[in-house]
Amino acid sequence: MTWYLEKRQPGGAWRVTAVRLLLCIAAGVWALLHLSGATAQQPAERAEFIVPTREAFLRGLKLEKPELAAVKAALDKADVDEATKAYISYFRTKGISSPLITQWSAVERDATYKNQRAEGFLKGFIRGGYNVYQVPATGLDWYNAPLVVLTSFHEFSSLSLALHHSADPKYLRAIVDHGYDYMRAYPIEEFVGKNARQGWIDDLHVGRPWRWGAIAERPITWSPTLALIRKCPEVTDEELATLLQRLYQEVGYLRTQMKPWVDRGHNAGGRMILAMATACGLFEDFEVVDEWLAFTAASLAQYVDHAYYPDGLHKELTLAYWASL
């Protein structure tokens, strides 16, 4: 683990303040703030995260941007289908500059690449949390499978690498279908009235997607995956739009849940900051992202200052766990 030094004030002592991960988050937040023109501000508390229609989702875009003129023109004619096509056409080709999202064009392809975890997933074998699981012929049980972290989408990292290196659409279809299965199992409306403290069942059941351990992971695993699959013609415009709209709503839910975890200096607070910063890179064309970024930057500053001892060790005193994060 690499540690960094920072001089806190003129004449002050040098002290270790952050690990590489936090500096990466800071760089990502700074870059996105710089690119979006957002400024730091007192974050507004927001309870509403449901975006009920595709039109409402698209109207959340920065429609004054010249690149989104076709989306605005279609919405002005109340043609939501055409607006969806215009936005997804733009999204498929736009640059994503966030350092927190994999720049897939810079990852050299290896035709010999094999990923055992991805191959196992295609055969119904899933690793998750404290157990492994063979999906039965009746299908994946999103509630009672003995996979605590099933809703964290950890399998997407392996599937994305396999897809990138092989360009085999079977990995793409596994990603899209898994996302759709998840959405059917847990409609976004089920998040209403829940909080991130809820959703733990036990070691032998799926942790619900609104709990802190899951909601802080999906934006991290889903964002680079969407950045990859957007380039694949086999994924339809409707599929991409549906997946994006769902993640957008989940990030809105995460925004309502972060503050207590950051205030406590809990490890979930650090992970939530990374999740928000990552998702902001994917959704930088949306109006609300300016507020999300300002809130995330303020949360990061607070977290670095208050969650660590002067020597740089996190106050939870779980060095092995933090190294793994």
Digit-coded pLDDT (tens) for 68-103: 999 999 999 999 999 999 999 999 999 999 999 999
Q: Distance from first CA to last CA of the chain, Å, rounded?
A: 11
What is the DSSP secondary structure assignment for residue 292, as one 8-state letter? Answer: H
Tell me what percent of the chain is helix, strand and coil, each rounded to the nearest 5.
55, 5, 40
Tell me how far the alpha carbon of residue 13 is from its chain's centroid.
Answer: 36
Q: What is the pLDDT of residue 319?
A: 75
Q: What is the pLDDT of residue 170?
A: 98
Q: What is the pLDDT of residue 46?
A: 45
Exposure on the CB side of residue 241, measured as CA atoms within 13 A: 21
Q: What is the pLDDT of residue 47?
A: 53
Q: What is the pLDDT of residue 14?
A: 31
What is the DSSP secondary structure assignment for residue 315, as one 8-state letter? Answer: T
Q: What is the pLDDT of residue 324?
A: 60
Which segments of the chain have a pLDDT < 50? 1-21, 23, 27, 29-46
Q: What is the pLDDT of residue 2?
A: 32
Tell me how far the alpha carbon of residue 8 is from its chain's centroid.
Answer: 31
